[in-house]
Structures are given as structure tokens and as C-alpha cells.
Structure 1
Amino acid sequence: MHKNLIWTSDPGHGWLAVPLADLKALNIETQITGYSYVRGDTVHLEEDLDAVTYLEAAKAAGWTVETTEEHVDWTPIRSYASYQV
């Protein structure tokens, strides 16, 4: 499987936007922390742990992941709901 994902970063942090269904498909939904955020069917995985967990699981599953970086001065991601299983 091939994925094209967006990596959003502001001056303080970064998040990888992934479909919620990917976490289930990779069986990692219980490994994601509350430092990631959810809006609709998209989970914004925080860069230090959760995005790494996702990328490692995707690689182990044989997926290829390409990212497009989006640098912004401000993002509403922090105002989204914290991820919960």
C-alpha cells in the first residue's frame, strides 16, 4: 500500500495527518497517545512518538509512505480533541 500524507508543523511542534482507519489496519490504535489529536476521520499524530510508531508499523506492513511538509505560523490542530481509543 502506498500513502501520501501531510506533515504539518508550526514553530513549536509537528503532526502527521493519517486516516483513523490506518491505525486500525496496522493494529496500533492502542499505542497512540493523547498527545495526538483527532478531527473527523483524521488523526494528527504528534511527531516525537506517535508518528514514529505509525511509520514503523507501516514499514513493517510493507507500506510505502511519502510525506508533504507544510510549515505554518499557526495551526488549529492543538484545538482538536485529544486522541482516545
Structure 2
Amino acid sequence: MHKNLIWTSDPGHGWLAVPRTDLGALEIEARITGYSYVRGDTVYLEEDLDAGTYLEAAKAAGWTVETTDEHVNWTPIRGYASYEI
């Protein structure tokens, strides 16, 4: 499977936007922390741990992941709900 994903970063942090269904397909829902955020069907995986968990699981599953960087001065991501299973 091939994925094109967006890395959004503001001056303080960054998040990898992934479809929530990917977490189930990779069987990593329980490994994602509450430091990531959710809006609708998208999970914004924080860059320090959760994005790496996703990328490692995707690689192990044989997925290829390409990312596009989006640098912003401010993002609403910090105001989204914290991730929960």
C-alpha cells in the first residue's frame, strides 16, 4: 500500500495526519498516546513518539509512505480532541 501524508508543523511541534482506519489496519490503536489529536476520521500523530510508531508499523507491513511538509505559524490541531481508542 502507498500513502501520501501531510506533516504539519508550527514553531513548537509537528503532527503527521493519518486516516484513523490506518491505525486499526496496522493494529497500533492502543500504542498511540493522548498527545496525538483527532478530528473527524483523521488522527494527528505527534512527532516525538506516535508518528514514529505509525511509520515503523507501516514499514513492517510493507507500506510505502511519502510525506509533504506543511509549515505554519499557527495550527488548530492543538485544539482538537486528544486521541482515545
Name the Cα RMSD after superposition. Answer: 0.2
1:1-85 alignment runs, 5 A limit: 1-85=1-85
- Structure 1 unaligned regions, length at least 5: none
**SS at 1:12's partner residue?**
coil
Cα separation, 1, equivalents of 2:49 and 2:2: 22
TM-score, scaled to structure 2: 1.00
Cα separation, 1, equivalents of 2:25 and 2:49: 19
Aligned residue-pair number? 85
TM-score, scaled to structure 1: 1.00
- Structure 2 unaligned regions, length at least 5: none
Percent identical: 85
* Runs of 4+ with deviation above 3 angstroms: none
Question: CA offset at residue 34 of structure 1?
Answer: 0.2
